[in-house]
């Protein structure tokens, strides 16, 4: 009895001990506790998913920005390669190259691609004239002003209306832009400016942008160091970017829920803000927790990127916890209400029905629990399906024996599973469908056969026939009591292509930099393509120098007989599969033959393809930077197939790399030949050339400046020995054959250091050396002068010198090229010719040409100095014809010389005599009026009368002269007017009786007698 009573006591329901309200509250509290646990778990999972989704979007956005900028920099590298492969690129060639690239279509965000030549301040006018001659009459470099260097926008494609605003803009004039130019010049790499306003925007303060520049060097000069790169710099190529255009669509549809801000530099300052996807108050509701700040470096410039999630980014993920909470609360209330109703029912039931009531309550509670579990299971399944379908990876879950449990939407899209395929019922059909899309199915099938166990996972890379690359992960998992496999697939085609392109490009560039043979470089290009597509066999065929034959460049995987059948053969003789390569070369475009069997006209045409077991062929022309055809890249397959977009992109890139390698090899060959020709021309040049080192002189000048010497010219005049000491510091590095012959030296004299600066400037020419030193030290690149030098045999000679400071050596003066020309004989001949051209051979007086030139100079002086005066005298020997007739012309010549001597004795230094005719003479008296001229003329007339001439025969001859005078005025039309007036006065003197002086003062009667013979 006690045992039975105890059992009945414990078997009583809870409602027997507590009231209905208390029971309902307990049920409600318990259910709410369970609901809170479920809500908390769902909330944590949702927040983790939102954070993971946000981090992924940020990484994807950063990769898109970096990838896009790297692509655009590669475009600039292509333009740089165009200049590297050509000594000069015309505007037409530049336009044609960029028209083929279609930059504005394929590369959104680039506002254009331009060319910036490095123009010195002295060459600016010549640069503007050359551009105007090309069809741009209004072209001018702006902003205006005198600067040492200019970098104007000379080429800019496409030359749209907005780009015309930037045409001629001097980028060197603006500090931010100039900093990028200098960085690119010194590093040899791409450089990016800071935040700027593009000239194309016309001063729009709301539009921000930047420039990316690449240097263009003179390939004939080394540029391994900073100094060499500065010396070899020719120009820059650049691309302007507007941030709003560059960022348009960079993040895809997902970026609309993100606020993207890009700052120039490392600080988040308003002044450094370059781009804001949601400007102003649009980003006021941005999340304070979902924020990412990352730094990115592009072309040597750091950007700071801040990304914030906008309302609605979390979407339905954060709504799910609320749904769980609301459902739990409703279920809790329902259960509490049911518990209360059941408790009330039990309390009112009869004692006889107590047991049945308890059973009924338990049954109802069990049903409610089952219903809740079913609802929870349904929600969990829906949540799992939503999560699976929203992932970026393709997911497949199957059993060890191949039964398919589930797959998400991304998996079906990735593998292009048709809707008609019942993959859940027929897992083998799904496997066959996946296998049919793979170039090599072994990794996929191997993962099915040898699945990993435990927590380990297996990774494989799958190559699809359409060129895509998929990363596959397989790991084991437990589904209830059954062992299952979780497959994860991710499309890494773009990442793989970028990695392969970068690896191949770096490898090719390293091989080119180290001077690897062209065959090795081309073989590396071919092997890289075959590594990306194992089912592909490639070869590179080159055009010979005459462009009539094909030469094998690289074909490491094709049979030898197949390669020999095209090597060295004329283009006209190649048919069949090799005829496809000829077709691509002649048409200059890609040729694709998906099925060689179907394309063959006869069995013999494709016999080589049959023997090599090739069934499809693609031909990609290989071009140089200027667009010139260099060869063709051939891709073969053992199965009929057409190329996908990834195949064509890979072939195009490989052809571009091959073109770079071929052109680099040609440039290297031409460079070596050019160096040999230059040395030959230098050694055999007819002009004397001297290579000199003035670096020690430069150091000595710096020491003088540090010692306080400011005026070097005055210092050298006061201390001639200092200039002599500096001349001794010049070193002769090299001299060609003409220079050695000029100073009577040989190569042995050069080797033992017998040559010095005296062979260009001797002691008497040291002032000329000082002038040259001051000019070169002051920044002049070229100085020309005349000097005197000493040959090694001691002979003093005169020479003409041109001193040229080679580019890049203006600061140190360690490379000065001097050309010298011996002008000793030329100066002697010039002096003799000048004497013959200006002097009368008989009297030694200036001839008529020299006298007229002096008269013209004096007339010009009177026009400038109206208060000054001058007079002209015309003299004629009286009865000179009788002297010739009686005594002969020899005596007449003696009389002329006698009169010339008398004239010279009476003249001042400033007076100019001249013989202007047979027996006619003239005298120019600067600064002399007619009264003073009359006194001089009378004194000369008397001296002639009083002086007699005794000939060799003892004959005494006395002569007289008639003189006409006229005043010279600046108002005369020319100098002939005064000669006409003086000549008129002379003839009046001869008509008046000779041996007299007449003057023409311009009066009414014309001539007024002043002096007559007594």
Cβ neighbours around 713 below 10 Å, total: 12
Helix, strand, coil percentages in the chain from 3-state DSSP, rounded to 5:
50, 20, 30
Buried b (16+ CB within 10 A) or exposed e, 466-487: bbbbbbbbbbbeeeeeeebbbb
Contact 505, 525 (CB under 8 A): no
**Residue 807, Ramachandran bin (φ over 0: left; ψ between -120 and 50: alpha; else beta):** beta
Contact 184, 191 (CB under 8 A): yes
- Is the model's pLDDT at 10 over the cut of 60? no
Confidence of residue 1005 (pLDDT cuts 50, 70, 90): very low
Q: What is the pLDDT of residue 1010?
A: 40
Identify the CA nearest to 293 among candidates 310, 308, 277, 278: 308
- Tell me which of 997 and 360 has the higher pLDDT: 997
Q: What is the pLDDT of residue 686?
A: 80
φ, ψ for residue 165, nearest 5 deg: -65, -30
Confidence of residue 69 (pLDDT cuts 50, 70, 90): confident
Tokens for 663? Answer: 């052109």
Tokens for 8? Answer: 């009945």
- Is the model's pLDDT at 762 over the cut of 80? yes
Tokens for 652? Answer: 């195009």
Work out the angle at residue 697's Cα, subtended by the Cα atoms of residues 695 and 702, and round it to the nearest 5 degrees: 95
Cβ neighbours around 557 below 10 Å, total: 13
Radius of gyration of the chain (CA): 51
Confidence of residue 530 (pLDDT cuts 50, 70, 90): confident
Buried b (16+ CB within 10 A) or exposed e, 66-80: eebbeebbbbbbbbb
Average pLDDT of span 656-674:
80
Give the bridge partners for 801, in sequence order: 785, 820
Confidence of residue 1 (pLDDT cuts 50, 70, 90): very low
| Side-chain-side CA neighbours of residue 791 (13 Å) | 17
Identify the CA nearest to 191 among candidates 149, 219, 233, 227: 233
Confidence of residue 810 (pLDDT cuts 50, 70, 90): confident
Q: What is the pLDDT of residue 802?
A: 92
Contact 388, 395 (CB under 8 A): yes
Give the bridge partners for 965, in sequence order: 873, 999
- Is the model's pLDDT at 607 over the cut of 90? no
Identify the CA nearest to 726 among candidates 712, 740, 739, 736: 712
Tokens for 978? Answer: 């005064």
- Tell me which of 876 and 598 has the higher pLDDT: 876
Out of 67-71, 254-258, 522-526, 532-536, least confident range:
254-258
pLDDT, the chain, mean: 83
Contact 110, 241 (CB under 8 A): yes
Query: CA 164, 169, 174, 178 torsion: positive or negative?
Result: positive
Interaxial angle between packed helices 493-513 and 518-532, expressed in degrees from 0 to 180 and rounded to the nearest 10:
170
CA–CA dist 668, 661 (Å, integer)? 10
User: Where do we find the tokens 């260009």?
Assistant: 760
The pLDDT tens digits for 832-860 are: 777 777 788 788 889 888 889 999 998 99
Q: What is the pLDDT of residue 966?
A: 94
Identify the CA nearest to 82 among candidates 624, 714, 501: 624
Please pick, among 919, 920, 984, 998, the residue that the annotation labels catalytic.
919
Q: What is the pLDDT of residue 371?
A: 79
| Residue 499: its H or E element | helix 493-513
Average pLDDT of span 335-356:
72
φ, ψ for residue 542, nearest 5 deg: -110, 150
3-state secondary structure of 549: strand
- Is the model's pLDDT at 438 over the cut of 80? yes
Q: What is the DSSP letter of 547?
A: S
Do the bridges between strand 997-1000 and strand 961-968 make them parallel or antiparallel, or are there none, so unpaired?
parallel
Work out the angle at residue 175's Cα, subtended by the Cα atoms of residues 173 and 177, and round it to the nearest 5 degrees: 80
Query: CA 760, 765, 771, 773 torsion: positive or negative?
Result: positive
Q: What is the pLDDT of residue 750?
A: 81
Query: CA 174, 176, 179, 180 torsion: positive or negative?
Result: negative
- Is the model's pLDDT at 786 over the cut of 50? yes
CA–CA dist 724, 728 (Å, integer)? 7
Tokens for 16? Answer: 């027997």
CA–CA dist 343, 554 (Å, integer)? 92
CA–CA dist 285, 987 (Å, integer)? 112
Cβ neighbours around 289 below 10 Å, total: 10
Out of 244-253, 613-622, 640-649, 694-703, least confident range:
244-253
Measured CA to CA in angstroms, residue 713 lies from 693, 694, 698, 719, 772 at distances of 21, 18, 15, 10, 11
| Residue 665: its H or E element | helix 645-684
Tokens for 942? Answer: 């008397």
pTM of the model: 0.36
- Tell me which of 1005 and 269 has the higher pLDDT: 269
φ, ψ for residue 478, nearest 5 deg: -110, 120
Contact 798, 787 (CB under 8 A): yes
Contact 975, 859 (CB under 8 A): yes
Identify the CA nearest to 153 among candidates 133, 182, 131, 125: 131
CA–CA dist 219, 234 (Å, integer)? 10
Chain CA centroid to CA 846, Å: 64
Cβ neighbours around 579 below 10 Å, total: 17
Contact 408, 417 (CB under 8 A): no
Identify the CA nearest to 31 among candidates 357, 365, 358: 365
Give the bridge partners for 732, in sequence order: 692
| Side-chain-side CA neighbours of residue 384 (13 Å) | 10
Q: Is 920 tagged catalytic?
A: no
Q: What is the pLDDT of residue 1009?
A: 39
Confidence of residue 434 (pLDDT cuts 50, 70, 90): confident
Confidence of residue 538 (pLDDT cuts 50, 70, 90): very high
| Residue 824: its H or E element | helix 824-838
Work out the angle at residue 637's Cα, subtended by the Cα atoms of residues 632 and 639, and round it to the nearest 5 degrees: 150
């Amino acid at each position: 009895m006690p045992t039975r009573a105890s059992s009945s006591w414990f078997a009583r329901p809870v409602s027997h001990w507590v009231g209905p309200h208390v029971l309902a509250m307990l049920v409600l509290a318990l259910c709410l506790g369970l609901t809170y646990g479920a809500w908390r778990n769902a909330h944590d999972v949702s927040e983790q998913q939102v954070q993971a989704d946000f981090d992924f979007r940020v990484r994807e956005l950063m990769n898109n920005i970096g990838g896009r900028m790297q692509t655009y920099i590669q475009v600039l590298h292509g333009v740089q390669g165009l200049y590297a492969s050509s000594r000069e690129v015309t505007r037409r060639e530049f336009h044609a190259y960029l028209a083929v690239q279609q930059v504005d279509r394929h590369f959104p965000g680039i506002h254009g691609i331009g060319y910036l030549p490095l123009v010195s301040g002295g060459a600016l006018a010549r640069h503007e004239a050359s551009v105007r001659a090309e069809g741009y009459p209004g072209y001018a470099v702006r902003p205006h002003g005198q600067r040492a260097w200019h970098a104007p926008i000379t080429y800019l494609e496409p030359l749209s209306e907005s780009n015309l605003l930037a045409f001629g803009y001097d980028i060197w004039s603006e500090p931010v832009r100039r900093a990028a130019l200098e960085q690119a010049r010194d590093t040899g790499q791409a450089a990016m400016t800071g935040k700027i306003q593009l000239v194309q925007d016309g001063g729009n303060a709301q539009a921000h942008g930047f420039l990316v520049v690449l240097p263009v060097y003179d390939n004939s000069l080394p540029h391994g160091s900073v100094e060499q790169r500065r010396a070899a710099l020719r120009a820059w190529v650049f691309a302007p970017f507007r941030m709003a255009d560059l960022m348009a669509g960079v993040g895809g549809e997902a970026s609309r829920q993100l606020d993207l801000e890009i700052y120039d530099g490392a600080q988040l300052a308003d002044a450094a803000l370059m781009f804001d996807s949601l400007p102003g108050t649009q980003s006021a509701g941005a999340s304070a927790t979902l924020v990412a700040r990352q730094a990115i470096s592009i072309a040597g410039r750091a950007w700071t990127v801040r990304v914030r999630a906008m309302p609605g980014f979390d979407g339905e993920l954060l709504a799910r916890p609320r749904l769980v909470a609301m459902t739990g609360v409703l279920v809790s209330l329902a259960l509490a209400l049911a518990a209360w109703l059941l408790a009330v029912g039990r309390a009112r039931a009869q004692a006889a029905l107590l047991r049945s009531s308890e059973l009924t309550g338990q049954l109802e509670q069990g049903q409610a629990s089952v219903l809740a579990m079913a609802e929870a299971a349904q929600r969990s399944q829906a949540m799992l399906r939503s999560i699976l379908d929203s992932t970026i990876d393709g997911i497949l879950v199957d059993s060890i024996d191949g039964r398919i449990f589930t797959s998400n939407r991304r998996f079906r899209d990735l593998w292009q599973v048709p809707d008609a395929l019942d993959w859940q019922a027929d897992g083998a059909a799904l496997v066959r469908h996946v296998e049919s899309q793979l170039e090599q199915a072994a990794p996929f099938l191997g993962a099915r056969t040898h699945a990993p166990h435990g927590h380990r996972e297996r990774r494989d890379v799958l190559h699809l026939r359409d060129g895509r690359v998929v990363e596959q992960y397989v790991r084991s998992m437990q589904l209830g009591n059954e062992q299952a496999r979780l497959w994860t697939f991710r499309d890494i085609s773009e990442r793989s292509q970028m990695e392969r392109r970068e690896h191949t490009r770096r490898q090719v560039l390293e091989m080119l930099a180290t001077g690897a043979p062209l065959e090795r470089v081309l073989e590396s290009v071919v092997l890289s393509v075959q590594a990306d597509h194992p089912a592909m066999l490639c070869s590179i065929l080159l055009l010979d120098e005459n462009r009539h034959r094909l030469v094998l460049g690289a074909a490491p995987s094709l049979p030898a007989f197949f390669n020999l059948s095209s090597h060295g053969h004329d283009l006209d003789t190649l048919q069949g599969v090799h005829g496809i390569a000829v077709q691509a070369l002649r048409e200059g475009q890609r040729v694709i033959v998906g099925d060689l069997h179907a394309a063959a006209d006869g069995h013999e045409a494709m016999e080589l393809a049959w023997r090599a077991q090739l069934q499809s062929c693609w031909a990609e022309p290989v071009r140089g930077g200027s667009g010139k055809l260099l060869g063709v890249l051939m891709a073969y397959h053992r199965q009929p197939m057409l190329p996908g977009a990834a195949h064509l992109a890979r072939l195009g890139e490989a052809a571009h790399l091959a073109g770079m390698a071929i052109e680099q090899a040609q440039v290297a060959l031409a460079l070596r030949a050019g160096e040999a020709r230059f040395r030959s021309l230098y050694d055999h040049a007819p002009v004397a050339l001297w290579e000199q080192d003035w670096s020690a002189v430069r150091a000595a000048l710096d020491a003088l400046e540090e010692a306080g010497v400011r005026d070097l010219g005055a210092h050298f005049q006061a201390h001639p020995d200092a200039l002599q000491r500096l001349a001794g510091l010049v070193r002769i590095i090299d001299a060609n054959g003409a220079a050695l012959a000029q100073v009577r030296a040989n190569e042995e004299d050069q080797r033992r250091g017998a040559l010095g600066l005296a062979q260009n400037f001797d002691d008497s020419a040291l002032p000329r050396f000082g002038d040259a030193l001051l000019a070169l030290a002051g920044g002049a690149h070229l100085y020309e002068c005349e000097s005197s030098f000493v040959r090694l045999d001691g002979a003093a000679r005169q020479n003409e010198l041109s001193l040229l400071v080679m580019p890049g050596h203006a600061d140190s003066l360690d490379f000065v090229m001097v050309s010298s020309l011996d002008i000793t004989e030329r100066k002697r001949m010039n002096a003799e010719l000048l004497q013959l051209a200006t002097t009368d051979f008989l009297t030694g007086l200036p001839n008529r040409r020299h006298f007229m030139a002096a008269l013209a100079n004096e007339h010009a002086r009177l026009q400038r100095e109206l208060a000054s005066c001058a007079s002209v005298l015309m003299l004629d020997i009286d009865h000179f014809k009788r002297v010739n007739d009686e005594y002969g012309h020899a005596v007449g010549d003696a009389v002329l010389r006698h009169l010339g001597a008398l004239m010279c004795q009476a003249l001042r230094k400033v007076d100019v005599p001249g013989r202007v005719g047979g027996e006619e003479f003239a005298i120019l008296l600067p600064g002399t009026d007619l009264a003073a001229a009359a006194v001089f003329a009378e004194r000369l007339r008397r001296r002639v009368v009083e002086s007699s001439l005794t000939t060799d025969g003892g004959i005494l001859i006395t002569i007289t002269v008639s003189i006409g005078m006229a005043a010279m005025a600046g108002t005369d039309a020319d100098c002939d007017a005064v000669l006409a007036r003086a000549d008129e006065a002379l003839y009046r003197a001869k008509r008046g009786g000779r041996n007299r002086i007449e003057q023409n003062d311009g009066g009414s009667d014309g001539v007024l007698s002043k002096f007559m013979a007594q």
